[in-house]
Structure 1
Amino acid sequence: MLISIITVTYNDVQGLERTIKSVQEQTATNYEHILIDGGSTDGSRALIEQHQDRFSYWSSEPDNGIYHAMNKGIAVARGDYLLFLNGGDHFKDESSLSILVGGIDENQQVELVYGNIEVVADHTGIKKYPAHLTLDYLIKDSLPHPATLIRKTCFNSHLYDTSLEIVADWKFFLLGIYKQSFNYTYVDDTISVFYYDGISSLQHVKISKERRDVVKQYFPDKLRLHYFYYPGNLKQIFNDVKKKVNSLMKRIKTRLTHG
């Protein structure tokens, strides 16, 4: 069994060095490392060339965004399972890949194997995931791609949706589990370290919009749950309702005043 570790990166040479080092330190040996760089100009290409003998495939050229780059990695992957460990992120320790691979069933029938991640942000901590993934949970959250093995056959019917800028991996897991019935296994261990780079409020709005459009198309009865999870949307709805109520009250008052 072969694992394809796919790293997508762009202009983050220090983070990329951290990622490469953590892959090379793994005690597991049944993996290939694929490096897809978006044409970096910060020295990343020189770093890649320095380690090129450790990659089964690498490229450094402009692309059309992170999901286009991830799809390029999928196209050349030879592994039975894929894991996306993007530039900057890294495995928790040298046994992480072995621990995650241990969740694969004997006949390699499980399609998703996922563990926990350590999130490095203003308040660093471990993010744990549930062993049972309900639709309501996946509407609000997603699986961690730096700590999830995906059987390559899961990509036979479709790749990541490149029309989405931010949430295509969320859409893939959501539809895979609840439309295509992917089976999954949870490994209760911290597998990878994810660096949260401070998503701006503008990106939060974009995330909300992209997710809302997906939920509206595939799970319209869950749209209310989406709005409650994103207070900005709920606030907008409240303001719209408030305006309509005020307008209605104004009309009623006018009629009462003028008979």
Structure 2
Amino acid sequence: MKLFSIITVNYNNATGLQKTMQSVFGQSFTDFEFIVIDGGSEDGSKLLLETNSSTITYWVSEKDTGIYNAMNKGIKASKGDYLFFLNSGDTLHDAFVLKNAAPYLKQSELIYGNLLIAEPARKWVKKYNEKLSLEYFTRDTLPHQGSFIHRALFERFGLYDETLKIVADWKFFLEAICKYNVRALYIDQVISSYDYTGISSRPEFYALQAHEKRTVLAKLFPLQIDSIYELHALRERKQYFDSFEKDLFVQKYFGLKLRWKALKKKILKRG
């Protein structure tokens, strides 16, 4: 049995798949298996898999019912201790990611790190919270392409919820940490470079994402949901006013306004 199972899901993204495969094959640490689940692509992805079949532990190219159905196929095909989902277009940050992560695995069943976000116009590192809470998961998640998940968690809590289109990985983390009290370990390292063109990052899917999250929260935490969203709204309002107060123009405006009030008082006293 290998230490890591790297699972890649792909559909009609041969260019992204090639980038992902190159980053996997370039790892200095070799105690891993590599699994690719292709959704019956018609863009040359299957030919790419056939060409590299000697270095891929397991691959299949067939129709699926969505990304989480494909990820669940990967889980079922895997045999490694820790599962790592690196979908096509995403890449491991450097050649030493697995080597650097391996020493931490004995400390937790769930280890996560940071992402390099690759937007069209810029690249930046997203750092994740070390302290996780129910409130945190109303506004963010953990990155599946930055997390190493022990296979025992899937055996205990089940696979990804295929009734959800966008947030099933978020739901898995939410349940594991906030319902079943799994202790997640944060490591301050960049794990992978995230292709920011994925479905959950596209504005046209924001409404569906918010709807699915609220539905899940209402089902799992019905007594807390209203308080959670009220706290979330207050936090956003505070951040807005904090940024508003830091605006130089606003500071000058209110400074002049206060001076004018003081001047008016002086004029009235003299009158």
Conservation of the 8 A alpha-carbon contact between 1:100 and 1:114: no
Show the 5 A alignment for 1:12-51: 12-51=13-52
| Separation in 1, partners of 2:34, 2:142 | 21
CA 1:34/1:226 → structure 2, altered by over 3 Å: closer, same or farther? farther
Show the 5 A alignment for 1:202-217: 202-217=204-219
Point out where structure 2 has 5 or more consecutive residues left out of the alignment: 238-271
- Does the alignment pair 1:152 with 2:151? yes
Per the alignment, residue 164 of structure 2 pairs with: 164
CA 1:97/1:226 → structure 2, altered by over 3 Å: closer, same or farther? farther
- 1:88 aligned counterpart, secondary structure: coil
Counterpart pick for 1:117 among 115, 118, 125 = 115
Instruction: Calculate the aligned-residue CA RMSD, in Å.
Output: 1.9
Point out where structure 1 has 5 or more consecutive residues left out of the alignment: 235-259
Any runs of at least 4 consecutive aligned residues in structure 1 with deviations exceeding 2 A, and if so which? 198-202, 222-230
CA 1:84/1:227 → structure 2, altered by over 3 Å: closer, same or farther? farther
| Separation in 1, partners of 2:182, 2:171 | 13
Conservation of the 8 A alpha-carbon contact between 1:116 and 1:191: yes
TM-score (norm 1): 0.84
TM-score (norm 2): 0.80
| Separation in 1, partners of 2:40, 2:191 | 29
Larger radius of gyration: 2
Offset of residue 225 of structure 1: 3.7
CA 1:93/1:29 → structure 2, altered by over 3 Å: closer, same or farther? same
- 1:75 aligned counterpart, secondary structure: helix
| Separation in 2, partners of 1:227, 1:206 | 20
Conservation of the 8 A alpha-carbon contact between 1:212 and 1:226: no
Conservation of the 8 A alpha-carbon contact between 2:115 and 2:192: yes
- 1:130 aligned counterpart, secondary structure: coil
1:15-62 per-position Cα deviation (integer Å, ceiling 9, x unaligned)? 000000000000001100000000000000000111111111100000
| Separation in 2, partners of 1:93, 1:212 | 36
| Separation in 1, partners of 2:172, 2:218 | 15
Offset of residue 166 of structure 1: 0.2
CA 1:229/1:196 → structure 2, altered by over 3 Å: closer, same or farther? farther
| Separation in 1, partners of 2:35, 2:230 | 38
Conservation of the 8 A alpha-carbon contact between 2:135 and 2:232: no
Per the alignment, residue 129 of structure 1 pairs with: 128
Q: Aligned residue pairs: how many?
A: 229
1:143-197 per-position Cα deviation (integer Å, ceiling 9, x unaligned)? 1111110000100131000000000000000001111221221110111000111
Per the alignment, residue 248 of structure 1 pairs with: none
| Separation in 1, partners of 2:138, 2:6 | 27
Show the 5 A alignment for 1:220-231: 220=222, 221-223=224-226, 225-226=228-229
